[in-house]
Structure 1
Amino acid sequence: MDLEKYEVTSAINIKDFSTKEVIEDSKKELKKVRKKISTLQDRMYAEGKYSILICLQGMDTSGKDSLIREVFKDVNARGVEVHSFKVPTELELKHDFLWRHYLALPSKGKIGVFNRTHYENVLVTRVHPEYIFGENIPGVRSLSDLNDEFYHDRMDRINNFENHLAKSGTIILKFFLNLSKDEQKNRLLRRLNLPEKNWKFSTGDLKERKLWDKYQYCYEDLLNRTSKQNAPWFVIPADDKPTARLLLAEILLKNLKKYNFKEPTLPLKIVDQIDDFKAQLNNK
């Protein structure tokens, strides 16, 4: 499987990436891959040097929730932490825009999944710049202050943030679930047609859908400016959910293997007494 073609390593145009690929037996293959991920996460936890941050971004209905469920279902529950970032709270708005994300970072040995991420701060707020006013930023007085320079400066700060994390032992992998507008329509209609799915539908989805082209422009800009060697972006075709899940899992597994995690060995004085410890336990 050629996984390199999904990584953003140079300037890209989103339209050049396919939104639909179908891998045969993807569900069966995913079962094999996620068991391997679970084994490596156990070793990473025992070693205690690294953590993993998985960042998921995509348009509404791109399949983030179900992807998290299917990819990580075999990982020990104590080894995965999922955070879904909503509209900032009053407390969060009193801090810088990265503060709440820093608080949610995974500790060493664990996998952290950000379902929508710190990139919302250069995505949703760029499509809806009026949201920025809630942050009460010095020097920001009108919409004219929220220009490309403002958002590119934020992206630079995000790059610095991720560089700091990477140097501290966080393995960062970022995934853009590349959904087609037609497939989004089908998934929204499914939410309306199936009574058990009605609760997922929001009129806000239709309002955001009208801004599709603006979102695509903003995604392309952030992908080009924030995909770095120590925090790469991957553009994943998302129209076929099983394939998208398998591709993400394969990319995660490939990157985990690079670190050759090892369980710590016992001190020699303990190893020398193992037989004595066994005897003590067997005699009680």
Structure 2
Amino acid sequence: MSQVLHTPPPTATPGSPTDDAAALAARYGLTVSGARPTLPAYVRELWARRHFITAFATAKLTAQYSQAKLGQVWQVMTPLLNAAVYYFIFGILMGTSKGVPDFIPFLVTGVFVWTFTQSSIMAGTRAISGSLGLVRALHFPRAALPVSYALQQLQQLLFSMAALVVILLCFGVPLSLSWLLVIPALTLQFVFNAGVAMVMARMGAKTPDIAQLMPFLLRTWMYVSGVMWSIEKMLKNQDLPHAVLVALQCNPAAVYIDLMRFALIDSFHARQLPPHVWALAVGWALIAGVGGFIYFWKAEETYGRG
């Protein structure tokens, strides 16, 4: 009976070709292809690609409805049609409009702001898995993709804001200095959305099937975020456990929606906001933005492989 001999793989020893190659690479500053840079270096690389991020987001936004006859009009029509459907179902059939002043501006604002978060997360989930050709062909910080998709959704929201302003004025909501609060509110929401998009981009790159699950999770999140109904009114009418009340008030989507309503709608008062609402908005933005960025960066060298 013959015996099969297993020889161990050769190891690098001092003076071996492997050792000499490593020393030569170190001498001339060569590094492993695709190796993850340090976090500060990664931030600098991302900042250096800021013009690419903006141009990529704008190009995606322009191409989004290029095949439709109405073109970019759908950027405004889509959230408006969603608001009309929600008004019919929740405002008329289910009666959630009762006791809510300026319900149509209340509803449209909630739908527009929620759509910003929903679309950013959905686009982020496919940011890597849907751009493998770009990821494999070019060297750039991969975080540029989910950030650019979040920026695309921000640009789309800004287009929609023109229609929102018209609706507010048509329903008697006066122009006010508080409208300037839209700027910090949207900035914080953008940071939050981009952070969550980066988390989902990493998860979607490893498990593309997550993209099929996300619509169900986001729909559930929407229903508990006060998009179509008043959280403040429901808290008064329902005997809910304290933990549930706190969770509803501190829900990040609800926080950003309520901040926008407070900024834009005169009848939406500060007492309807959760306690320390601006601290909550900043906290959620930092947790999602910084945490999501680090979480995405840690898998930088794995994107586009396998």
Normalised by the shorter chain, which TM-score bucket? under 0.3
Larger Rg belongs to: 2
- In proportion to residue count, which structure has more strand? 1
- In proportion to residue count, which structure has more helix? 2
Q: Which has the higher contact order (CA 8 A, sep 6+)?
A: 1
TM-score by length of 1: 0.24
TM-score by length of 2: 0.23
